[in-house]
Structure 1
C-alpha cells in the first residue's frame, strides 16, 4: 500500500526501478529545487519497514538505462536529484578495468551503511602511537548512518556511463523543504563569502563572528547559503595555505608599501633557523613626527602578540596637544641585549642619527645595557608607571594591606 503524505512533510522511500533506455539528459540546475513542495509517498517493504520517496519532475528523475557522456555527469545528475528530494550523497565502491577506466561506480545516500560504535573497553586507555594520555577526552561523534539502501549504480558501456541500478526509497527522514538550504549539497561558499572570511582573518576576526555578520547582511541564517562549519573549515584552509609563508608575506607587504608610500623604511633579521626574528619599520609620517616631537621618546616592549610569541615595541612621543605620536615600530622574538641594540640602531638610521634628549623605558636589564651602547648623548630614564607597579612587591605585606602607605605614596608621586 502507498499513501501520499503532506507536501510539507519530511520523509522518502526504496524501490528497484526498471525502465526502457532513456537518452542522455542535459545537466541543468533543476527548477524543482526552488518550486512547489513535491509530495512524499510512504510505503512499506516486504519486511514491514517504512520507506519514503519524494516524487520530482520526470526530467530530473533517474531511471535505469539513462546514459551520460562522463562519470561526473552521472554523479552530478544524481546530486541534483538528491537536492530536490532532500538528502545528501557520497561516492562509494567502484571497479576499474585493466586500462584503469572506472567500470562501475556506486553513488549512495549519505546514510548508507552503519556507524561503528566505540569499544567501551578501549576507552581511557593510553595510545602510545598517538601520544594520548589516560585522561584525555575522546571526541563524541553522532552516528549518522542507518543502513539506507537508496543508490544508483553507473556502469561503463560502449563509451558511456549507464544507470544499471536505481534504488529510490529511504529508511530515514528526508530534509524539510524549508530547511533545504542547510543540506550539504545545497551549501556553497560563494566568492563573496570567501573574500569576507579572508578580509576578516586579516583583522583577527574569527569564523563565528564572520558568520554572524553575514547573517545580519543577509537578513537571516537561511540566506547565508552556508553553515558555520563551512566558514570554520575555509578559514582553516586559508591558514594552512599560508602555512610557513606568513613571514615572507609580511615582508612582501612591507616591500609593496615602500613603492606605494614614499618615505617608508624597514629592516628585518632572520635567525639561523630561517625564522623571522626581528622587524623594524617607520613611515614618513612617523619620521616627520620625530623631527617635531622627538626630544622625548618612550620605548615600551610590554605589548605581546596573540600569535608567534613576538613582542611589539613602538617608539612613541607626545605632541603639543598631549596626544601620543608613534615614530616607529618593531617586532622582536627575543628580548635580549642583542635584539634591543639592533632595533635602536635601525631607529637611529631611520631618524637620520638624531638622538632624543631623553628615552624612557622599563627597568629591563637588557634595555639598560643596550641604550648607552647606541644612544651616546640621550638621557635614560625609567617609566614611572612600571616603577609604581613594582612598589607593592618591594614593601612588606603588613604595610601594604594595613596602612594607607600606597595611597599616600601615589598622592606624592602623581600630584
Structure 2
C-alpha cells in the first residue's frame, strides 16, 4: 500500500478547497474557508496543517491573487472575500458623473449616465424612485444593468411556475454600481451618490458596439429597412448592405437582430390595416397625377378582394405598344392568398413593358370580368391581340369583356 506523507495529503486537500472556492465564486455564491496555520507539526520535510471545518469564515486574498489579470480599459482589486472589482478607466472626466453635478431633468441625467456607461463598457437601466407629496420624483436611481439577483419566484411559487415564461439566461450579479439623482430647491436634479465600482468585467472597446446603449435604430436605418422590404430584400441582406454603405459593422449602430425586431414591430403596427394603407397610398398618387388610375372592391367583411391600378407610364406604354397584350395570372402571393396578374407587352426594343396590374382574391368569371372591364375603362380601347392561359373562367371573361380580334391561349 502506498502511503503519502501527511503534508502532501494536506496540500492536496487545500488545493481541492481552493478550486471549490473559485467555482463557487463564479457561480454567484459565497463559500468561506479559513486555514488554521497556527497548529502545524512537521513530518519529515512536510508540514501538517490542522484545519477546523466548523470554524469556516473567510478566504484570504492571496489564494486567488495569482489568477488576477488586468483587463483592458478597467482596473480591479481583490478584496478580503476574493472578489474582483472593476472601474472604468478610459473615460474622460467630462463624461464622468461627479457629486453635486446638476441636470435640468431626469432624462438629461439618464442620457448622461448612459453615455458614461457606453464609454465605460456597461449598460445601464432605470432603477427605483421616490416621489414627494405632489407626485414629483424626488429621488431617482440609475443602476448598472447587472444590478440585482436572479428571480427564483418561479421555482418557489407553484402558481408562477405554471405561467409560460421566456427562457433567457439572467446576467444579473448584484452589481452595486449606480448613480442617485436628488431634487434640490431649484427644481434641478443633482448627483447625490455615485458608485463606479463594478463586480463584473467591463466590455472592451471592440465589443462596445453590441451594448444596448450603442444599439439604436436611427431614422436612416429604419427607412433603409423599410425601403429594402419594398424590393423583397430581407433584414439580413439589408444589414449587410448597410454595413458596406457605412464602412463596417461598428458604424451601423445596430445588430442584425435589431433590424429584424424593427421589421417585426413594423408589421405588428400595420396589422390588419395594410389594405387601407395601400388604398390611401393610391389616393395620394392620384392627387399628384391625374393619369394614375385605380379601382377596388371589398367583400361583406371589409376585406380587399379586387384591386386594379395603372400609372401614367403604363397607360402611355399601352397607347404606343398596346396592340398585343399578355395577361399572366399564375403568380400567387405568400401572405394574402391573392393572385397577382400583370398586363404586359413588348416595346420596339423587344423589352417587356407593363401596362397594368391587379390583385384578385379568386380565379372565377366574376373576378376576371371585373378586371377586364377596368382595363378597358382605363385604356379606353381594346387590344388587338391578347395572350392568356387556358383557364375556363378566363375564356368566358375575355369573350364577354374584350372584343379582341385574336386571342391566343398558352399551354
TM value normalised by structure 1 = 0.71
Contact 1:337 1:369 in 2 (8 A): yes
Change (3 A) 1:279 1:153: same
Matches within 5 A, 1:201-280: 201-261=229-289, 263-280=291-308
CA distance in 1, matches of 2:206, 2:290: 56
2:399 aligns to what? 372
Q: Does 1:95 align with 2:139?
A: no
- Tell me by how many angstroms 1:118 deviates: 9.8
CA distance in 1, matches of 2:346, 2:97: 75
**Greater alpha carbon shift after TM alignment, 254-263 vs 155-164:** 254-263
- 1:185-217: CA deviations, max 9, x gaps? 233333332332222222222222121112112
- Tell me by how many angstroms 1:378 deviates: 5.2
Q: Does 1:383 align with 2:391?
A: no
Q: Does 1:110 align with 2:145?
A: yes
SS in 2 for 1:187: coil
- Tell me by how many angstroms 1:329 deviates: 1.4
Q: Does 1:363 align with 2:390?
A: yes
Matches within 5 A, 1:17-56: 40-55=74-89, 56=91
1:152 to 179, 186, 196: 179
1:196 aligns to what? 224
Q: Does 1:172 align with 2:200?
A: yes
- Tell me by how many angstroms 1:303 deviates: 0.8
Cα RMSD, aligned residues only: 3.4
2:362 aligns to what? 334
Contact 1:115 1:145 in 2 (8 A): yes
SS in 1 for 2:85: strand
CA distance in 2, matches of 1:320, 1:79: 62
Contact 2:386 2:404 in 1 (8 A): no
CA distance in 1, matches of 2:387, 2:282: 28
Contact 1:355 1:378 in 2 (8 A): no
Which of structures 1 and 2 has the bigger CA Rg? 2
2:113 aligns to what? 78
1:347 to 364, 371, 375: 375
**Structure 1 residues without counterparts, runs of 5 or longer:** 11-36, 131-137, 385-415
**Structure 2 residues without counterparts, runs of 5 or longer:** 1-60
- Tell me by how many angstroms 1:172 deviates: 0.8
CA distance in 2, matches of 1:282, 1:197: 26
**Greater alpha carbon shift after TM alignment, 247-256 vs 268-277:** 247-256
1:406 aligns to what? none
Change (3 A) 1:121 1:279: farther
Aligned residues: 342
Contact 2:341 2:358 in 1 (8 A): yes
Contact 1:69 1:161 in 2 (8 A): yes
CA distance in 2, matches of 1:336, 1:181: 55
CA distance in 2, matches of 1:319, 1:64: 75
TM value normalised by structure 2 = 0.71
SS in 2 for 1:44: coil
